[in-house]
Amino acid sequence: MVTLDKHRRNGRSLVAVTLAAAIACASAGCTKVESGTSAGGSNPWTIHGVVRIGAYEDLDNLDPVLSDELYATNVFQLVFSGLIDYDDHGNAVPDIALAVPTQSNGGISADGRTITYHLRHGVVWSDGAPLTSADVKFTWQQIMNPRNNVAFHFPYDEAKSIDTPDPYTLVVHLDKPSAPFIASFMRNGSVGSIVPKHLLDGLADLNHAPFSTAPVGSGPFIVTSWRPGVELDLKANPRYFRGPPKVAQVQYRIIPDQNTLMTELQSHSLDIFLHATETQYAPLKSVAGYRVTAIPNLDYEHIAFNCARPPFTDVRVRRAFAYAIDWKRINDDAYLGIDVPGMTDQSPAMWSYDPHVLPYPHDPARARELLREAGWSPGPGGVLVRGGKPFEVDISTVIGNSTRVKAETLIQADMRAVGVQVAVRNYPANLLFAAQGVGGILANGKFDFALYGWSFNPDPDDTDTMGPQSLPPYGVNYTFYRDQDIGRWEAQGREHYGRAQRLPYYWKIQERIHDQVPFHTINWAAPIDAVNTDLRNFKPAPAVADFWNAYEWEI
């Protein structure tokens, strides 16, 4: 029998207490850090009506049904619409829907199994065709189409049927009540933006449709050209239902090296440096003509172990890594202490957070003891061996992220100190996060352990990332850890719309994650954006994506 490590329940962590102000800030959607020249004057390098964005991750697809990239979600908010979106306070807000369904407004039936959405009138696709409830139902069908390379199906698979009694009414029938369904169903972004039935109907699948490179949306901007790995160009959509945006053109440039991005910003070739690294925060503050924001967010950086691949099939090995890695040092040295430390997938800013579940302490002696229990013994050069084979594993992340490269270096040193050799094997984002059907590294389990960021919806349900039924291609449980108890607790938590009824299940899940360590969070990020002071109404959001209100931008 494996003995559980019990240090997590030693009381409320000092971190959780001292972060009260940051948590309150996240809840209010306020700016944690903002510096730079005030947006009053005009920078001589500003191009009126044009926003130039720089990002280091390439886009894997322009069809939101087929993409699961965080950066792509921002782009989809420029091009498409959803039923709902999330604002700069982290609240669900209507997009194409007239209201977010609740039991009080009649959108959720008394038994919690029927969800009704009423759609805005007069919404059209950029080609002029009307957007109706039939498009929403069609998008749901495409997400559930097993031929499509969709990263995940939850919560869409909770809908047993959808009715469209008229062009502006959508009635969703669930097998059982589902609180996270409301938070995620057709949320504008990856696997959530609505796609046009009139252009895609009749295709066996969407995987190779021209739409993936030249989409037609209903959002504030229209794609004019896309050069993968180089640039995406967009122009204002004159048919946008909120009115034509004030920005005439958006140039979204993919620059895979963040040092080059910094150089571009310093030369004033960018208006937005999207998600700079923590190491660039101080230099960014010194660049005249920009304001720098860091909003407490529901994005988390974490280490995911491939629990289906030796040696991480053994929980003792996973715990040994958790003890051997100095999580505080990584957060302080690689991430510069800007972000909120964590352990599980529930942020201290969320109502579901269990303050008793603490990060593993740095304890190399305990790590060595666990590795001995798992059958590893000292070998040549200080590297552990078992069965004549040295303990050698790979760590993977996205190429071009200097902060994560620094974190990898620290992890290599920590593991070397306990006899484990770690090699770095990094990949482009569009390969690391690609769907299983197109060779994605994570989705196909072609890694030992990985360091990457993940974005959480404000609802605490983690079925899609931790559910035993959510292994690729049915979800994005890239740990490949199957725990039927977690699956049962997730299901029980979904069945209630009241927080008090749901809370005990999420505490159970967090404790199980701690004990079994399928992953270990490093921190909850405060994404850093550097923005031209002449760009008005840029309002980074603490959840989902920063471009939620691009229709309001002015420059």
Domain containing residue 174: CATH number: 3.90.76.10
d(CA 20, CA 525): 16
d(CA 170, CA 163): 6
The answer, yes or no, to whether residue 32 has pLDDT greater than 60, is no
Domain identity same for 453 and 306: yes
The model's pLDDT over 47-90, given as tens digits with 9 standing for 90+, comes to: 999 999 999 888 989 999 999 887 899 999 999 999 999 998 88
Q: What does the pLDDT read at residue 4?
A: 36
Q: What does the pLDDT read at residue 298?
A: 82
Q: Report residue 341 as tokens.
A: 């430390």
250 in a domain, yes or no?
A: no
Q: Where in the sequence is the domain holding 519, given as residue range(s)?
A: 298-524
The model's pLDDT over 174-211, given as tens digits with 9 standing for 90+, comes to: 999 999 899 899 999 999 999 999 999 999 999 999 99
204 in a domain, yes or no?
A: no
Residue with tokens 């484990």: 420
Domain identity same for 315 and 444: yes
- Pick 138 or 24 by higher pLDDT: 138
Q: Report residue 222 as tokens.
A: 């229209």
Report the share of the chain in percent with pLDDT over 70. Answer: 93
Domain identity same for 369 and 492: yes
445 in a domain, yes or no?
A: yes
Backbone angles phi and psi of 143, in degrees to 5: -65, -35
Q: What does the pLDDT read at residue 211?
A: 97
The answer, yes or no, to whether residue 6 has pLDDT greater than 70, is no
Q: What does the pLDDT read at residue 355?
A: 96
Domain identity same for 369 and 489: yes
Task: Determine the average pLDDT of the residues in 470-478.
Answer: 93
pLDDT band at 20 (very low <50, low <70, confident <90, very high): very low
The model's pLDDT over 225-251, given as tens digits with 9 standing for 90+, comes to: 999 999 999 999 999 999 999 999 999
The model's pLDDT over 282-337, given as tens digits with 9 standing for 90+, comes to: 899 999 999 998 877 788 999 999 999 999 999 999 999 999 999 999 999 999 89
Query: Which of 198, 218, 247 corresponds to the end of one domain?
Result: 198
Q: Report residue 79 as tokens.
A: 């091009």
**Amino acid at position 463, single letter:** T
Backbone angles phi and psi of 93, in degrees to 5: -130, 150
CATH number for the domain including 396? 3.10.105.10
Q: 395 near 51, Cβ under 8 Å?
A: no
Q: What does the pLDDT read at residue 90?
A: 84
287 in a domain, yes or no?
A: no
Query: Which of 166, 198, 230 corresponds to the end of one domain?
Result: 198
| Among 103, 59, 97, residue whose Cα is nearest residue 79 | 59
95 in a domain, yes or no?
A: yes
The answer, yes or no, to whether residue 543 has pLDDT greater than 80, is no
Domain identity same for 185 and 303: no
Domain identity same for 515 and 404: yes
Quickly list DSSP for 63-88: -TTT---HHHHHHHHHH---SEEE-T
Q: Which range, of 26-40, 348-362, 363-377, 405-419, averages the lowest pLDDT?
A: 26-40
Average pLDDT, the chain: 90
For the chain, counts of helices (H) and of strands (E): 16, 22
35 in a domain, yes or no?
A: no
DSSP percent split of the chain into helix, strand, coil, nearest 5 = 30, 20, 50
The answer, yes or no, to whether residue 449 has pLDDT greater than 80, is yes
Q: What does the pLDDT read at residue 41?
A: 57
Q: Report residue 462 as tokens.
A: 């983690």
| Among 399, 396, 451, 455, residue whose Cα is nearest residue 229 | 399
240 in a domain, yes or no?
A: no
Domain identity same for 316 and 168: no
Q: What does the pLDDT read at residue 349?
A: 84
Residues 6+ apart with CB under 8 A from 263: none
The answer, yes or no, to whether residue 402 has pLDDT greater than 90, is no
**CA-to-CA dists, residue 483 to 10, 469, 477, 509, 551, angstroms:** 25, 9, 11, 10, 43
How many domains does the chain contain in total? 2
Q: What does the pLDDT read at residue 15?
A: 32
Q: What does the pLDDT read at residue 39?
A: 42
The model's pLDDT over 477-498, given as tens digits with 9 standing for 90+, comes to: 999 999 999 999 999 999 888 8
Domain identity same for 496 and 353: yes
Q: What does the pLDDT read at residue 80?
A: 98
Query: Which of 152, 177, 198 corresponds to the end of one domain?
Result: 198
48 in a domain, yes or no?
A: no
